[in-house]
Structures are given as C-alpha cells and as structure tokens.
Structure 1
Amino acid sequence: NEKSLLFFQEDYNHKYPYDWRTGKPTIFRSTYQWFASVDKFKEVALKEINEVHWYPPAIVNRITNMVKERSDWCISRQRSWGLPIPVFYDKVTSEVFLNQEVIDNIIDIFQNHGSSSWWRLSISELLPENYKDKADSLVKGEDTLDVWFDSGTSWKSVLENDKIFPADLYLEGNDQHRGWFQSSLLTSVATNGKAPYKAVLTHGFVVDSNGQKMSKSKGNVIEPEKVINQNGADIVRLWVSSEDYSSEIRISENILNTIKDKYKKLRNTLKFLLGNLSDFEADSSISFKEMEEVDKWILVKFSLFKESYLESFRNYSFHQGLSHLLHFCSNELSSIYLDIQKDVLYTYSKKSKERISSQSAILFIFNELAIMLAPIISFTAEEAWIEKHGKNNSIFSHELSETFFKDSDLLKKWEQLMFIRELVLKEIEKSREEKIVGSSLEANVIIEVDKEDLGFFQINSDLLKKCLIVSQLQINQSSNNEIKVLVTKTKYKKCQRCWMYFSNNEFSAKDSNLCLKCETQLSK
C-alpha cells in the first residue's frame, strides 16, 4: 500500500554457513574483541620455523604459509568457562581501565588464590589500594582467553619452570598447525624470541576403510577396547606401528586381519628362536671371530637391518622401522638362515662347535629383536624375554646393545652365493611341481658357470651346498659363459636321522641307516 516502505520482496537462495556440530545455520555479527598483533615478530617466527625439525618434513610448508598469511590474533572469547581476561571498563564510557599497578595486583591475587578469583571477588577486592575508590564506577570484563592462547603458553609452566626449554618434541594431530603448534610458537617467539620446541610431529586421524570419519551415527566406529578384548592389546599396538601416520590412518576388520598375520609371523619367529635356545645360555656363547661363516653372515645382515631400524625410529618413521624388521625376520632370518641351519640345530651335538656357533648368533639376535619389539608389541616381547631370562628379569630394564658386526668382504661373497641360490631354488621348485623331487634334499644339482666364476664356486661348493639344502652339488664350467642349472633326483641313500642323502661309503658300518656325520655327532 501507499504507506509501505518495502518496494520489492523475493526469496533468494544462497550458500550459508552451518555449524559442524549441531548442523544448524549460523549468524555472523560484529562484536568488540581483543586482538594481539603478530606483525612485530612474524619474521622471527618464520625464521624459527626453519630451525625446527618437522615430521613428516612436508608439513613445514603448511605452518609456514599459515604464519606468513595470518592476520592479528583474536584472543578473546565469550564463554562461561575459561581463563578470564582481567580488564575493567568504565560504566559510562566503556573505556578500558588498566595499568601496570592494576595488572601486578591481579597477578598477585591469581598466583595466591587462582584465576577464579576474578569471578569470585568484588571489583574493590581486585583493585590495588590506590584505586579502590574507583570500584563503583567500573565493571569487570567477562571475556575469556582463547583456549589456544591458554594452551599455547603451556611451555611457560611445563618447560621453563623445570629448566628444560625448549621441548624435544611436540606431538599432536595435523589440525594443530592452526592451533596448538602455532599458538605455542607465537607466544614463545613473542616473549623469548625462540620456538618452544626442537621438533614437531603431526599425525592424521583414524578413519574407516573408506577414508570416512568415524561416527556413531554412521555406525562405522571400531572401538579399541573391543579389539583388545578379542585379540589382545599387542594387536592394536602393532596396527598403530604399522600405519603411516603422516596421512589419515585407516582401520577395518580386514586391516586388523592383516595385522594378526604380521603378529603371528613375529610370534612364531620368537618361538622358533626360543625353541633352539632351550639348552643354551649366554656364558656358552663364542665370539664373532670364532663363529662359522654362515653365523657371521647373519649377524652382519642383522647389523645392517638394525641400522635401518634405528634410523627409522630416530626419524619417528615407526612403520618403516617395523617394515625393515618384518622383512629381515621373513627373509634373511627365517627363509634363509634358520632354514639353512636346521640341520645343525636339529642333528648336531650340543657340544659341537657348529651348533654352539649358531646358538651364539641366535641368542644375540633374539635378545636384540625382543628389545626392538618391546616398544611395539610390549606384552609379547616381555613374555618371550621372561621365557628365556626368568620372571625377575623384565625386558624393560634392558637396552639395545651398541654392537654392530661389519664385514664387507663377507657380504660381497654371500651376495654371489645368494644370487646363485635364488636361481637354483627356482629350478628345484620347477622339479617339485613336475614331481621329479619331493624336497630339496632329494635334489642332485649341477651348476654351469663361466670360467671367471668357476674357481670361486668350486672353492665354496660345500658352503653353497649348505645354502641350497641339497644332498648333491656339482660345479662345472659353462660352454657359452651362461649360468645353467640342472636338477635331477639323487641316487644316493637317505639317512634316517638327518634325512640327507649320501653315497653308500658315507654310512656307518655299525648302522646302515645312519650317516657318518650323524654317527660322529652322536658320539660327542
């Protein structure tokens, strides 16, 4: 009508912000707030960022850009709980009433009676003696400090009071570049000119197998307590250690089943090592120099793995360290060394040098391996340690040794042996599929190598035969300088004790089913 001031009205659809927690639309309104300027120390903060070790390294770009582009910091909040901003306002003009004397008095009250004094005491009780007459003209501020300012100054009480500033490591989720990591950096640089930490590690969040955030409403939550009750705490610990935390960390029943398989391999490795140490103690060990070559080799390989493991842990790459450990246990240790040494461990005398040498190496590896696993599968490592060393000897009172075995010539030699071994095992496997042989012990292997390598393999034929776990081995020169492997079934006779095959003149005169090797071992 003629009196209406509204000329035109229509509905307009536009994007609108919603509160992530309640799912309801939000309304923006301008309010008076307290701000802290960061311009005066922003460059110092950026310089300090480059002095800090960031894990994973790429995250330095994220916090650098955030600090570089940040505006003034709004440090006030309107909440019913929190650390109060101790400011008085004039009732009429709303001007701030605050000076050093008032601040010092409030600091003294907070130190003696706590920050809740601000809400509990009257204005007159909060003011110093010289200003009590102004109490009736003032009102208390009701703003609280931003919680990130509050937690961002935790270094002050936690580190400086204990004289350990700066911290070795700050550890939190990847959302804290905008929060705790940044607020801690800014408050420390503003007051000390230095970052409050030497290193910062960030991790992703646990999500389901599809990368979705876990939520009760979605029904995709996997509760740690339930997993622990079903499988034990070490499964959860192993899962955490196996994951690359630099991104989101997935969990599902299928993932946990994979973790269970890893756990079984580790547990079985420890059980096998323990089983071959039941009749052996540390005081029976021999030195590295006295050991058989195969035992020296596994200790040198173990030392290489140990260096990689420690380097990964020093860089907080726990999943890589665990990967190195699993690879060593599955390959060099179980598939090669322990497989090769079964004959020595099962059929040789307890007094034989070969068995003592092997057990010396196994004991060293068991001790080191158990200690390496202690931070990961703590309960299993402790159980294995107590089984070997007794109930009153916890693994957590021991440290990893600083012993590393090195022998570059030995490694080079065994690289050649392992190269040939891989070729031969492939041919043996083909022969097994074709039903030519049942096991490698039934194999008669003929290897042809070029002239340059012939001398090396002939000199080391006994060692290579041991590595191949075969009963017969012949090394010949190749006619065309190519490596050729031929596998047939041995015509030798089987020893009923060690199951290896020997020629007739290699059997005992007293027992035709017992080879001379076994007869010698039984006589010791």
Structure 2
Amino acid sequence: MSVDYKSTVFLPRTDFPMRAGLPKREPEILARWEEIGLFKRLREESKGREKFILHDGPPYANGHLHMGHALNKVLKDIINRSQQMLGKDAHYVPGWDCHGLPIEWKIEEGYRERGQDKDEVPVLEFRRECREFAEKWVKIQTQEFKRLGVEGDWEEPYTTMNFAAEAQIVREIGKFLMNGGLYAGAKPVLWSVVEKTALADAEVEYHDHKSPTIWVRFPVVEGPDNLKGASVVIWTTTPWTIPGNRAVACGPEFDYIGVEVKAVGEKSRAKVGEKLLLAKELYAAFAEKCEITEHEVFWQGVGSELLGLRCDHPLASAGYDAGAPVLNGDFVTTEAGTGFVHIAPGHGADDFELGKANGLEIPQTVDADGSFFAHVPLFAGSVVYTSEGKEGDANGKVIGALMEAGSLIAKGSLRHSYPHSWRSKAPLIFRNTPQWFISMETNDLQKNAVKAIEDTTFVPASGRTRLLSMVENRPDWCVSRQRLWGVPLPIFVEKASGEPLRDAAVVERVAKAFEEEGGDAWFNSDPSRFLGNDYNAEDYEQITDVVEVWFDSGCTHSFVLEARPELQWPASLYLEGSDQHRGWFQSSLLESSGTRGRAPYDAVLTHGFLMDEKGHKMSKSLGNGIDPQDVMNESGADIIRLWVVASDYTADLRVGPKILRYQVDAYRRLRNTLRFMLGALEGFSEEERLPAEEMPELERWVLHRLNELDRQVRKGCEGYDFHDLYKSLHNFCAVDLSAFYFDIRKDTLYCDRPDSQQRRACRTVIDHAFNCLVTWLAPIICFTAEEAWLARGTGPEESVHLRLFPDVPAEWHDAALAEKWYAIREVRRVVTGAIELERAGKRLGSSLQAKPVVTIGRPELMEAVSTVDMADIAITSDLALVAGTPPEDAFTLEDVAGVGVKVEMAEGGKCERCWKILPEVGSFESAPGTCARCADAVQYYRAAAE
C-alpha cells in the first residue's frame, strides 16, 4: 500500500504571484516610493559620492506624452538608476521647454475658433494664457512621467519660463551682446508665412511638395564675341524668386556647351537660330524637354571659361535693370537642371553667401505675410503663400511675365522634398529679413565649438561626425523671433547710429526685473527702468523680438547645472534623439562655447527615432502611433521599460502590438525566474549558507557565471550599452538558470534532506543569484524588481533602489571550470535531443524512464563528463558512458561531433517520492516504495517532526 510522502517533499512557496497585474500593482509601488520619500532617501545616502549628472533635455509642455517621450525618459531613468547603483550620486532634475511657437499656436487656435483677432489681444494677456497653458501641461506630463517609473526631483524641476531662468537667459544673451558676438543683420532665413516668424533648422521638417519648374534665358551682354547674344539657361523650382535675381552661378570644373538651335518641335518655346549655354551632360534631357530636334555645337569648354560673363535680367524689358554676372558656385551640381543656378541673394543661404562675397545687392522683395513689397516691379502685392499655407499667385504671375518677356524656354512641375513648418505643416520660404544673429566667427565661436566636440565622448561614436559636420558648415545663429511668448531680447538700439547699446549694467537691470516679474516686465515697463539715468529713452528703440527657444534650452546648463549646488557643471551626460544634433546638443554647445569656452557636457548619447512594426516613421497623420498610456493600462510600464532595453537604441527603434507582446513573453520569463527563486528560498537562513569552496562544481559554475555577468553589467552600465546587457541577463535567466541549472537541481531542492550539502549549496547559490539579479534588473524593470525585493523580505533597505550592485567575489571566476561545463552541456544537449525524439515517438514518457547509453569519441569530452553524475545532469534515472566511435544508428547532433546516444529503459522500480527508476526501490521498510536517498530523507523528516 503506497504512502503519501508529500509532507516530506519541499514545495516552493512565495507570495510573489505568477500573474504580474502590473497596471494595478505599479501605482501601488509608486505610492510606496512617495511614502518612504525614495528620491530624498537616495540623496541622503549618496552624500559625498562621485556625482553623475544627466542633464535633462527639456521636452515641450504642450500635450500628452507619446512613445518617443517614453523611450527618451525611460532610457534616462535606466541610466540614472544604474549609475546610482554603481555607487554614484545620480541626482536627476527633470525640466521643460515652455516658450515658443507651438504654445502660441495652440492659444491662437482658440482665438480662431472663437472668432477673435489675435492682434487685438493685449500682449500681457496673450502671454498669461501661454504661461497657464504650459503650466497645465507640465503638471500633466509630470504625472505621466512618474507613471513610467522615472525617478527624479519632481518637486523642484526646472522650466524655461521660471522667472530666474528667464533672467539668466537675459544674462547669457547679454554676454554675446557685450563681447560683440551679437549683431543685427539682414539675411535670408527660413520663414513661416503662417506663423509670421523665422524658424530654426530644428523646427523644420521636410515633406513632398509639388513645385513648378521653369527653364529661363539669361541673355549674355558682356563677354567674348562668340558668346554675346547667346543665353545662359537656368532652371529653378521657385519661379517667385526670379525678381530677386542678381547673378548666375556655374561649376568651374564642369563641361559646358553652346548650341545653336537648328530645328524644334511644334510646341517648343525654343527658337530656331538662338544660341544656348548649359552643362554638356544635361543637354540631352533639356533638349527633350524643350523639343529641340536639331542643334549645332558652336562652343564647348569648362565653367571657369564662363566666369566674368554678364547677363541681362530675364525681365530687363519690364524694368529689372540689375545685371546678372556669372560667378563661381561650388554648390552647383549636374544632378538636374542645366548646370547654371540663378542667384537670388535674399532667398537662399548659398545665394546669400555668394552674393555677399561678390558685393551683390541683397534685395528685400517679400514681406512677412508672404506678399511682395510695393516697391517690387510687376509683382507688388502678389502672394507666395497665403496665411493658411496655400500657394498664392506669385509663381503664376512670374511665369506669365517671363513668357511675355520672351525669357521662358520651358516649364513643368516636380514633386520633391521641401521644407515645412513642423507646427503648421505649411511650406516655408527663404526670406531676407532683419534679424539678430550670433556670429560664428567673432570670438572664435566656431573654432571653440569644434574643439569642444573633439573633447566630448559620443555614444554612438558617429554622433561626433554628425555634429561636427553641422557646426563646421553652419551659418551665423539667428536668435531672434518675431513672436510674443518667449524671453524678450534685452536690446536697445541707438536711433542715431543704428548700433545696439552694449552696457552690462543695462542688461543686469533687465535680468533683475525678470527675476521679480518675468519677461512681462519688458512689455509693461517704461524703457527708462532699464536704461537708468545714463541714457535718454527717446534716443533708443526698444527691440520687441523674443529670443528663439533653442537659445532658451541652450542656456539650461547655466540656470540648472551651475545654479543648483546639488548638481555640477559640466554635465556627465546629455541624452536625446538624433534630431538634437541640429537642436539642443548644438544650441547648448554653441551657447556654452561662446560664453565658457567648452561644451556643457562631457558625453553625448543619441537614440534613434520610433518606427512602426513595418519600419514606417510614426506619425499622427499615418495613425500608426502607440500611446504609452494604453500600454501601461493594459500591460504595465515595465513592459515599455523592457522594450527600451530590448531594442538597439543607437538605431531607429520599432514598436507595435506584436513587438510589445513579445516583450510581455520575455517579461514573463524574467518574472518566472524571480518567482522560482523566491519560492526556492522559502525559509532560507544564514545558518544554511555554504562557502563557495565547499560547493559542488555545478554550483561553482553558477557563481562563475554571476562573476562574468557582474563584469558585463558594470561595463554595460558604464558604457550605456543596455541592449547587450539585457540580452545577457535574459539569456542567463532563460537558458543558464531555468533551462539548465533549475531544471537539474529541482530534484535536489525538492527531495534532498534539508541538511544535505548539495541542497544547502543549491539554496545558497539561488540566494546569491537572486540578490544579484533583482539588483541588476532594478534599473530596467524597476517596479517588478521592487516587488520581488519586498517579497523576499530580507536586507535592511526599504527599497531595492536603495541598494548598490552587489560586490561579486573575484575568486568566483573560474575559466577552467567554465570550459569544462561548456563541454558537459554540449554532451547534455545530445542526450536531451535523443530523449525528446523518443518522447515524440511515444516510446518514452518522462526522461526519468530513460537510461541513455552515451558513446563519446572525443577524449576531452569524455574527461569532462566522467567526473560528474551525468544522469543527474541529463535528468535521467541512469546513464552509461562508453568511450569510442558512436554507432551509426545512434542519435547525433551535427554541431557536437563525436557524441552519439542510444536511449534504453531504466531498470528497477519507480520511487514514489522522487519518481526516479532505480533497482533499489522497495528495499526500505521504513519508507516503502522509495529509493535510498528518499528513504533517508523521510527518516530525517519523521525525526524532526518528533
């Protein structure tokens, strides 16, 4: 009659549930962190440690968080938590960008919906609405960031609209004013007709746009006799810029030809007998477009031979008397067009620089509203783009005038990438307009910035090349905006001289006023408040432009890192998306290089953009976005955090329902590993602990793996390589522990008597592994690690996040042992493969029914397995080792040469307690139906019960 031995078997027990329930559990953990004051506790315990300061690039306070925010802030949090656990003081101050066009746009949308005229709203009322809008979203985003598990100084964040911040921004712009770097100038800048302001590069995005294309004759009036009377042919996609033309550019090294037209098609605008000049390799496409069927080459040469030609303006007959010299343009290409580029110095960066270098007039033709000024012949009042961003009549009128003047040789259309406002989505124009600039040459700003880039660490390293190329080639920095919601430019211009007033005392008075009242003081104060008694306010014009928001955010290092004693300058790390090479990374670099001679950061880390599962960029218009709030409500924030590290953030990252479901599965494997360890450690005490030297080889191999992982974790955290770190931890849990070590040692754990050396070693190793894993995983799955730590209930810390990474003994490292157990695992793979084949064929049930006969023809493998109990390792009741060449009918694996397995049935009875099949089963009257090991264990339990 069988006996119930259940009470003598150790069955793991834990309150750590299999089902995570993260959407409900995570807010409870957040509440606990608030209750124990986790952030303040971290600061207290970190006093005196080396500081690690990740300076937060400010997100914009104008809407709910999207997955891009989640990626960015979670990655920052993982880095901060890991640096904290490395033994540093990782004080994190979150911040927000609060000024600028997007907020103004939202407020103006409200006006439009209510039928209000924005221009009739008092300035201070408008600014108050903008401030309140930003304040509302700072509060909302704070809660959303907290829900992601992001730990930081949420009680004292920074904002660019804080009065002290606005005051410091004034002081920083004042430094450029005082050192001569800030100047007023008229340059072509990207201009939004809809928003009526200049835009920075970082505020521009590129979309497909259909543009008219025209080929235009520029008659040669000065030059060699054989070229007089010919026409230089240009091609452009912006006909409206022709009134601003002042030159033509060619490529000096390109091959050009002069052709005389001999025959044309019926609809051709080309004229038989006329002579045309253009690039040789582009002539065939041009002739096809213009229906030139026959021609004769009358001249050929290189572009340098054309320099010095002078052409008439194509609208000369209509009053445009400015000539057009042919100049050297190193930006000219032969990819499309004619090899000649018409130069309108007021409508392009390259055009402006070429015009400036050659003393050309820089005309102003288009007003802020996108219409031509009244002084422009023929086109006064014509509109390039309307206030709604729609194409106006300017292109059509210019094309019509060119046709009437006989200057148009062909026209068409082209769909191409074109700059648009990232806010209104309307197309932009290059427009010559008075602005305030910071010179890249004055005070060696560009040179200092390049040196600062060279002195900075970039992760990935390609970030250096990208930022360097942008800074080396960038024009002067336009820092003025014709808007209202921002930090006013603290500038007074002397009416008599047109020069800005450079007086540090005036700048400081402005800053002091802003500290008390914010930027509103600029608009509600008499100028004499700032000018003081030394100047007559009537002699000065007060500038009403505001500072561009990229200068705002570029100054954050000054009013955050330098102003807060708990932080430090420069920052250890700046971290943002790759678009910030032209945004915050660059504006911070230029501001700091211009005022302090170096970058405000020691290192820059860049992550990629978000893509959907098909590799398409996420956007609202495509409707392929993922709402992080939805993910947290369904699966929990730890799933998002796991996705962040499971992705290679140095490239573009994909995310979608399928990918997140995969992370849910990966999370489940990690959770089950922690749960198994918690159950296996139930009742574990220090008296049970064994030193490593008294452990079996298998346990010492696990300790070796912990030592290896400790090195990987520390290296990964120091180098911000969380992708490889996570893969190593996941594989350790899924492969080394769950599929190997736990699988083997379950029998020992459940069935050995509690005082057995092997069981004590097993539980000691699991305790070590748990303490390591729960801490290593804490920066990543911060909620789950906390839940597991609290479920374990050991240690003096109230939170796992108050711990440091454990000190893993160096003596645990044993390369020779690792090599041996690699060989053992290779043999085991062949054995388990053979058993699985038998089970699939229904010839075998449990692996404990098997007695594999393992033939090994490789001495090094035989030496490795002969010193261990391979039946235990293979989870069989018995196992035979045979040296020699494996039989042909043996099971083998291609990648494990020299090992063959034939599965026989184990002999004996089945132990009712451990289920092994052994000859000795049934030989023990004290424990009928058990094996020797189990009979001994039963006797132990009975004695303990008495």
Distance 1:424 1:179, change over 3 A: same
3-state DSSP class of the match of 2:575?
strand
Who is 1:181 aligned against?
585
Distance 1:435 1:44, change over 3 A: same
Alpha-carbon distance in 1 for matches of 2:458, 2:835: 50
Residue 474 in structure 1 maps to residue 876 in structure 2: no
Q: What are the Cα deviations for residues 445-493 of structure 1, in whole angstroms up to 9, with x where unaligned?
A: 222234744872574142x222111122222221589433222122332
Q: How does 1:473-512 map to 2 (within 5 A)?
A: 473-478=879-884, 482-504=898-920, 507-512=923-928
1:74 counterpart letter in structure 2:
C
Residue 396 in structure 1 maps to residue 801 in structure 2: yes
Residue 406 in structure 1 maps to residue 813 in structure 2: yes
Q: What are the Cα deviations for residues 312-358 of structure 1, in whole angstroms up to 9, with x where unaligned?
A: 22222222211111111111111110000011011111222221110
Who is 1:323 aligned against?
727
Q: Which structure shows the higher strand fraction?
A: 2
1:30 counterpart letter in structure 2:
N
For residue 703 of structure 2, the aligned residue among 294, 299, 303 is 299
Q: How does 1:451-462 map to 2 (within 5 A)?
A: 452-453=859-860, 456=863, 459-462=866-869
Who is 1:465 aligned against?
871
Q: How does 1:79-478 map to 2 (within 5 A)?
A: 79-91=483-495, 94-110=498-514, 114-131=518-535, 134-162=536-564, 164-389=568-793, 393-404=798-809, 405-450=812-857, 452-453=859-860, 456=863, 459-462=866-869, 464-478=870-884
Deviation at 1:181, TM superposition (A): 0.6
Who is 2:451 aligned against?
47
Tell me, yes or no, if the aligned pair for 1:478 and 1:484 is still in contact at 8 Å. Answer: no
1:62 counterpart letter in structure 2:
R
Deviation at 1:434, TM superposition (A): 2.7
Distance 1:503 1:12, change over 3 A: closer
- Segments of 5+ residues of structure 1 without an aligned counterpart are none
2:660 counterpart letter in structure 1:
L
Deviates more, 1:319-328 or 1:450-459: 450-459
Alpha-carbon distance in 2 for matches of 1:148, 1:453: 65
Identity of matched residues, %: 37
Deviates more, 1:486-495 or 1:175-184: 486-495
Tell me, yes or no, if the aligned pair for 2:926 and 2:939 is still in contact at 8 Å. Answer: no
Deviation at 1:114, TM superposition (A): 4.2
3-state DSSP class of the match of 1:197?
coil
Tell me, yes or no, if the aligned pair for 2:830 and 2:899 is still in contact at 8 Å. Answer: no
Alpha-carbon distance in 1 for matches of 2:862, 2:617: 63
Alpha-carbon distance in 2 for matches of 1:118, 1:495: 89
3-state DSSP class of the match of 2:798?
coil
Distance 1:257 1:459, change over 3 A: closer
Tell me, yes or no, if the aligned pair for 2:786 and 2:800 is still in contact at 8 Å. Answer: yes
Tell me, yes or no, if the aligned pair for 2:849 and 2:877 is still in contact at 8 Å. Answer: yes
Alpha-carbon distance in 1 for matches of 2:419, 2:739: 59
Alpha-carbon distance in 2 for matches of 1:451, 1:13: 74
Distance 1:459 1:93, change over 3 A: closer
Tell me, yes or no, if the aligned pair for 2:820 and 2:864 is still in contact at 8 Å. Answer: no
Q: Which structure shows the higher helix fraction?
A: 1
Tell me, yes or no, if the aligned pair for 2:824 and 2:865 is still in contact at 8 Å. Answer: no
Alpha-carbon distance in 1 for matches of 2:596, 2:538: 39
Distance 1:78 1:165, change over 3 A: same
Alpha-carbon distance in 2 for matches of 1:71, 1:324: 46
Tell me, yes or no, if the aligned pair for 1:282 and 1:363 is still in contact at 8 Å. Answer: no
Deviation at 1:103, TM superposition (A): 3.8
Deviation at 1:95, TM superposition (A): 4.5
User: Which gives a bigger RCO, structure 1 or 2 (Cα 8 Å, sep 6+)?
Assistant: 2
3-state DSSP class of the match of 1:483?
strand
Deviation at 1:173, TM superposition (A): 1.7
1:490 counterpart letter in structure 2:
A
Q: What are the Cα deviations for residues 2-21 of structure 1, in whole angstroms up to 9, with x where unaligned?
A: x9986845887567754443
Q: What are the Cα deviations for residues 421-442 of structure 1, in whole angstroms up to 9, with x where unaligned?
A: 1122222222222333222211
Distance 1:113 1:418, change over 3 A: same
3-state DSSP class of the match of 1:79?
coil
Distance 1:507 1:60, change over 3 A: farther
3-state DSSP class of the match of 1:166?
coil
3-state DSSP class of the match of 1:246?
coil
Who is 1:516 aligned against?
932
Alpha-carbon distance in 1 for matches of 2:826, 2:740: 12
Alpha-carbon distance in 1 for matches of 2:633, 2:687: 40
- Segments of 5+ residues of structure 2 without an aligned counterpart are 1-317, 320-377, 379-400, 887-896, 941-946
Alpha-carbon distance in 1 for matches of 2:665, 2:534: 74
Q: What are the Cα deviations for residues 169-214 of structure 1, in whole angstroms up to 9, with x where unaligned?
A: 1111211111111111122222222221111112223332233344
Who is 1:38 aligned against?
440
Deviation at 1:273, TM superposition (A): 0.9
Residue 61 in structure 1 maps to residue 465 in structure 2: yes
2:911 counterpart letter in structure 1:
C
Alpha-carbon distance in 2 for matches of 1:332, 1:458: 18
Q: What are the Cα deviations for residues 52-93 of structure 1, in whole angstroms up to 9, with x where unaligned?
A: 221222222110111111121112221112122222234466
Alpha-carbon distance in 1 for matches of 2:790, 2:912: 36
Deviation at 1:495, TM superposition (A): 1.0
Alpha-carbon distance in 2 for matches of 1:521, 1:102: 89
Alpha-carbon distance in 1 for matches of 2:419, 2:448: 35
Alpha-carbon distance in 1 for matches of 2:647, 2:575: 16
Alpha-carbon distance in 2 for matches of 1:371, 1:476: 44
2:799 counterpart letter in structure 1:
S
Distance 1:519 1:193, change over 3 A: same
The structure with the largest alpha-carbon Rg is: 2
Q: What are the Cα deviations for residues 266-322 of structure 1, in whole angstroms up to 9, with x where unaligned?
A: 111111111111121344312111222211111111221232233222222222211
3-state DSSP class of the match of 2:693?
helix
3-state DSSP class of the match of 1:30?
strand
3-state DSSP class of the match of 1:31?
strand
3-state DSSP class of the match of 1:96?
coil
Alpha-carbon distance in 1 for matches of 2:846, 2:646: 35
3-state DSSP class of the match of 2:871?
helix
Alpha-carbon distance in 2 for matches of 1:72, 1:38: 5
3-state DSSP class of the match of 1:68?
helix
3-state DSSP class of the match of 1:301?
helix
Alpha-carbon distance in 1 for matches of 2:781, 2:423: 37
Deviation at 1:155, TM superposition (A): 1.2
Tell me, yes or no, if the aligned pair for 2:481 and 2:545 is still in contact at 8 Å. Answer: yes
Tell me, yes or no, if the aligned pair for 1:46 and 1:64 is still in contact at 8 Å. Answer: yes
Distance 1:522 1:130, change over 3 A: same
Distance 1:224 1:501, change over 3 A: same
